[in-house]
Amino acid sequence: MPSLLIAHNSCKRFISRFSALFLSFANGASTFGGVIAAVSLGALPVLIGAEIFVRITLGGSLGIVWEYTTYLMAITFILGAAFTLRAGGHVLVSILTFPANNHFSSLFELIASTLGAAISLFIALALSDLAWQTFLTGAVSATPAKTPLFIPRTGIACGAWLLALQMVARIVAVCSGQSVERTALGVELEPHEKFR
């Protein structure tokens, strides 16, 4: 019987270490995606400002601004989604409200996170397939820039994978009894802004 108890404790320690490592990896990857999203968002006004400057001073156009700002906006949204989810900045609507430490609250969080992970994984797979098919066909944009479309589509697919990873991290966090949101990441909503 003591050997069974030792095996049980060893298993618990392994699961605890694995969940801590997995959550650390998922948080780091989501933070990296958030940084890339912030840089992309910062590049938007720079590109638009450059277009305005060239039109006013030279009477011409850069020719790539409207196409590239579209790519940057899509990448901003999708790469920032995983970071926003982990930081607790997403809109959370609860059908049934339970006290925060209630068993049913964790159960519903687990069900919602599992459903979200399944949907996110499906989207990530579909967007990855789209990027791969675009690469194989050599498709380019219809604009004068002739941008290979696999480049922005790959960035969008990476963001979808980060979101799926963060959804799986929520499942791991719920199962290991940890917080699913890290408000220490800097995203805090006022009580009247929360949709609970």
Q: Which residue has the higher pLDDT, 20 or 155?
A: 155
What is the predicted pLDDT for the residue at 196?
42
Taking only the tens place, the pLDDT of each residue in 76-131 is 999 998 888 887 766 655 555 555 556 667 788 888 889 999 999 999 999 999 99
What is the predicted pLDDT for the residue at 94?
53
What is the predicted pLDDT for the residue at 136?
95
Say if residue 25's pLDDT is above 50.
Answer: yes
The single-letter code of the amino acid at 44 is L
> pLDDT category, 40, cuts 50, 70, 90?
very high
What is the predicted pLDDT for the residue at 192?
43
- What gap in Å lies between CA 171 and CA 19, rounded to an integer? 10
* Domain boundaries, given as residue ranges, for the chain: 2-193
What is the predicted pLDDT for the residue at 155?
93
Taking only the tens place, the pLDDT of each residue in 127-184 is 999 999 999 999 998 888 889 999 999 999 999 999 999 999 988 888 877 766 665 5
What torsion do the CA atoms of 165, 170, 176, 177 make, to the nearest 10 degrees?
Answer: 160
Q: CA separation (Å) from 151 to 72, 121, 162?
A: 11, 20, 17
Output the CA angle 172-175-176, nearest 5 degrees: 85
What is the predicted pLDDT for the residue at 103?
66
Say if residue 46's pLDDT is above 80.
Answer: yes
Question: Structure pTM?
Answer: 0.79
Say if residue 23's pLDDT is above 60.
Answer: yes
What is the predicted pLDDT for the residue at 60?
84
Instruction: Give the list of residues 6+ apart from residue 15 with CB closer than 8 angstroms, or none.
Output: 176
What is the predicted pLDDT for the residue at 135?
95
